[in-house]
Amino acid sequence: MPADLIVLAAIAIFVLLRLRAVLGHKIGHDQPPPVPRDLPDESDRMVQVPPRQQPLTIEGEAERIEPSPEAQAAMAKLPEDVRQGIEAMGKIDALFSLPEFLGGARGAFEMVLEAYSRDDRDTLKMLLAKDVFENFKKDLDDSHKAGRRVETTLVSILSAEAIEARLTRNVAHIVVKFESEQIQVVRDTQGTIVEGDASDIQIVEDEWAFERDLRSSNPNWKIVAT
């Protein structure tokens, strides 16, 4: 073997021995410890209209928060009586925002239609006021007895606007007008369509009323009329 190769081999062996002494014998990559995740809270399944944080308070009074440009633009488009109702709500709940409320209302609208089609009574009971839930429950029971199932597919929500807003003491009442695209069919127990057309998209207008006690720590609104 040439002398230069012998020298290079000796140097390589020396380097490997030094690395072994410094790094030890462990093979593979150290895995970082798993990051703990909070378990989902039961309240996360609730529809919050709107999402809220704990308001800052000074001697028990909510700190006034300047409305966002989006909220100001939405307010400017409202009829005078509706705007006055929304403004009165903001005086009690400093974090109340009409755009956030309408976003939550759209989510609730979608959830109710889906829950009704799937006969998901737990979700309906969570979102609806007691008397409204009882009406939905009766309709579902009647459909079962008749061997029918009403199926509504929400294609899209075209618009959602507040058309009525009033404050009675601390209870806020807002009526939202929804315009949506829906497919409505009725199926028998075998799943066969007996009424309607699965390809027929219809424009549907609904007016739903939402209520919430603004002094309550519960941020969720109830649907009190459909």
Secondary structure in 3-state letters for the chain: CCHHHHHHHHHHHHHHHHHHHHHCCCCCCCCCCCCCCCCCCHHHHCCCCCCCCCCCEECCEECCCCCCHHHHHHHHCCCHHHHHHHHHHHHHCCCCCHHHHHHHHHHHHHHHHHHHHCCCHHHHHHHECHHHHHHHHHHHHHHHHCCEEEEEEEEEEEEEEEEEEEEECCEEEEEEEEEEEEEEEEEECCCCEEEECCCCCEEEEEEEEEEEECCCCCCCCEEEEC
Report if residue 2 sits inside a domain: no
Q: Can you give the pLDDT at residue 67?
A: 67
Quote the pLDDT of residue 12. 52
For residue 7, tell me if it sits in a domain: no
- Decide if 9 is inside a domain: no
Q: Is 41 contained in some domain? A: no
pLDDT digit string (tens) for the chain, length 226 residues: 554 544 445 555 544 444 444 344 433 444 444 444 444 444 444 455 544 444 433 334 445 566 677 777 777 888 999 999 999 999 999 888 999 999 999 999 999 999 999 999 999 999 999 999 999 999 999 999 999 999 999 999 999 999 999 999 899 999 999 999 999 999 999 989 999 999 999 999 999 999 999 999 888 999 999 9
What is the structure's pLDDT at 2?
52
In-domain check, residue 16:
no
CATH code of 189's domain: 3.10.450.240
Q: How many CB atoms lie within 10 A of CB 215?
A: 10
Can the peptide bond before residue 50 be classed as cis, meaning omega within 30 degrees of 0?
A: yes
pLDDT for residue 34: 46
Identify whether 3 is part of a domain. Answer: no
Tokens representing 40? 């989902």
Number of domains in the chain: 1
Q: Are 183 and 152 in contact (CB under 8 A)?
A: yes
36, part of any domain = no
**Domain membership of residue 116 as a residue range:** 47-53+61-225
Kindly give, in sequence order, each residue whose CB lies less than 8 Å from that of residue 129, ignoring residues fewer than 6 positions away.
211, 222, 223, 224
User: Which pTM value belongs to this model?
Assistant: 0.71
Whether residue 169 lies inside any domain: the answer is yes
